[in-house]
Structure 1
Amino acid sequence: MKMQKIAIINLKGGVGKSVTACNLACILGQMHERHVLAMDLDKQANTSKFFKTFNPGISTVAEVMMESITLSDIIQKTDFEYVDVAPSSMSMIKANREVMLDVTRPQHNRLRKALNGIADKYDYCILDCPPDIDMATINALVAADWVIVPVDCDEWAFDGLFEIMEQVDAVRENYNPGIKVMGILATKYTRGTYSEKVLVQLDQLDKMHYPVFRAEDGSVLRIDYSVKVKEAKTEHLPIYCYRVPASTEYRQLADIVEKTVEGEKR
């Protein structure tokens, strides 16, 4: 199938973007046998660290954005069959600044051009975006077919959500008419007033034509918080290695992704 590019984005930090990117990549690769490229666009490089590909001394996506190296030159294998990584590092700070200042060449479509060069090698590219609308995020949206927005179930869950939707609309209008929001994903759910309130609000948003991921029973799909999620990240293991609700929930997310992509092809 044509490589499907999925940008995972939220303007807030700590909402589970990297955890979602890593687990989705692993499940699609290990359980669905899809060839997946996880592209790390965040200077914190959490996805690179999870897959044990972080090394501040090597070339990364930063150099690809500055067009000084090709994407194929930086891709690394991981411990997981079918899953490769395009790593990141703090050099993304320099890349964002240089791309923004370089008015001699197009600034917005550098990742799209880079991904075109390896499109026949992967079924999916999961783009883990930084918590900011910088040049990396704009490039990710211009390249992406789909957007997933993780929203953590706390008091300030929706901060920045509508700004993200406005940015997606602007990119669709000006650069990438095919981009779609696949869904908003409730993360870090715990039993309590704020989490339940977020689920109710997400249910209302879905009825207002903001797509929200749904579980098999029709309820809002949520990713339950567990200390095992943090433990899995520390151990560089996907959450499906643990018997916790989040394991089933992330597998449901991957199933929805596959069904959505297959439905779009028909």
Structure 2
Amino acid sequence: MAQSVPTLLLDLDPQGNLTQHFTNFTPDDPPNVSMADVLDRSSDATLADAIVETRRGGLFLVPSGFDELQAVQDTLVGKPGAEFSVKRALDSLPAGQFTDVLIDCRPATDLVTRNAFIAADQVLIVLQPEADALRGFDFTLVAIDDLQTYLGKELPVAGFVVNQVDYRRNDHKKQLEWIKERSAADSIPILGDPIPVSTDLSKLNAVGMGIDEMSSPSIRLRTLAAGFQTIVNALREERSAA
């Protein structure tokens, strides 16, 4: 089923998983114009030049430049206004061209991720119930606080999404309880139900296919799809209230 409104995805992860899931581009066969070119100050490429259609109707993508994106980030370090590069690129698009813009970042607080924070209206933090992931979460909150302190950018945290929960593991159950306690303490809601580890979801993700594209999804997958819609609705409500 085609998307009802045009949505733009920005792949700011040098690993480029989003790009590979939704297009045929790979590190060995990269796009002609990518996010790396848009951010490269020696290039004349605009964000509009880099937008490509995906396998999903109504869903458009600015692909990652893979290793080139990392290389361009290194050239921006220390440059005036480097943190505002993505925002400037997005501001160049006609108003209203896309109803939603989703920015995918790697789990790091590097320059490209800070660029995403500056450009964003809100942030959604995806957590896995693993000790390393939860330690990284604290770094993310510190980075968001630094934006307010040093750049005057207030970035609301719309909520947490808890992903890849294995309820057979006691450590996952323990970490999930920690996330719930942290959610209550920080007044950051958990959006939707925790998403369990699912082989079916992994297979769909690998081919860039949605649950709604399956001819007969299982009850389990239909339940997960309803949960994803709950997350999207919550993000839109948060944005409307801002």
TM-score w.r.t. the length of structure 2 is 0.86
SS of match in other structure, 1:229: helix
Of 210, 221, 228, the residue aligned with 1:238 is: 210
**Structural RMSD (CA):** 2.0
d(CA) in 1 for partners of 2:32 and 2:191?
40
Q: Deviations over 1:32-58 (max 9, x none)?
A: x23211000111111011111524252
The higher relative CO (CA closer than 8 Å, separation ≥ 6) is in: 1
Question: Which piece of structure 1 moves more, 222-231 or 176-185?
Answer: 176-185
Q: What are structure 2's unaligned runs of at least 5 residues? A: none
- Tell me how far apart the structure 2 counterparts of residues 210 and 63 of structure 1 sit (CA, whole Å): 39
Aligned partner of 1:203: which letter? K
Normalized per residue, the structure richer in strand is 1
Determine if contact 2:105/2:116 at 8 Å carries over to the other structure.
yes
Give the whole-Å Cα distance in 1 for the aligned partners of 2:152 and 2:86: 13
Matches within 5 A, 1:138-177: 138-175=114-151, 177=153
Q: 1:121 to 1:53 in 2, by over 3 A?
A: farther
Match of residue 125 from structure 1? 101
Q: Is the 8 A contact 1:223 1:250 kept in 2?
A: no
The residue aligned with 2:188 is 211
The 3 A distance-change label for structure 1 pair 146 and 260 is same
Q: Select the structure of larger CA radius of gyration.
A: 2
Alignment map for 1:71-110 (pairs within 5 Å): 71-88=47-64, 89-101=66-78, 103=79, 105-110=80-85
> What percentage of aligned pairs have identical amino acids?
19
Q: List alignment gaps of at least 5 residues for structure 1.
A: 1-25, 216-220
CA distance in 2, matches of 1:157, 1:106: 30
Report the secondary structure of 1:121's partner residue. coil
Letter in 1 for 2:102: I
Segment drifting more, 174-183 vs 33-42? 174-183
Shift of 1:258: 2.1
Deviations 1:77-123 (A, max 9, x none): 1222221000012211211111115x3x4211011011011143111
Does 2:194 match 1:184?
Answer: no
Contact 2:55/2:208 (CA < 8 Å) preserved in 1?
Answer: no
Correspondence 1:60 to 2:60:
no
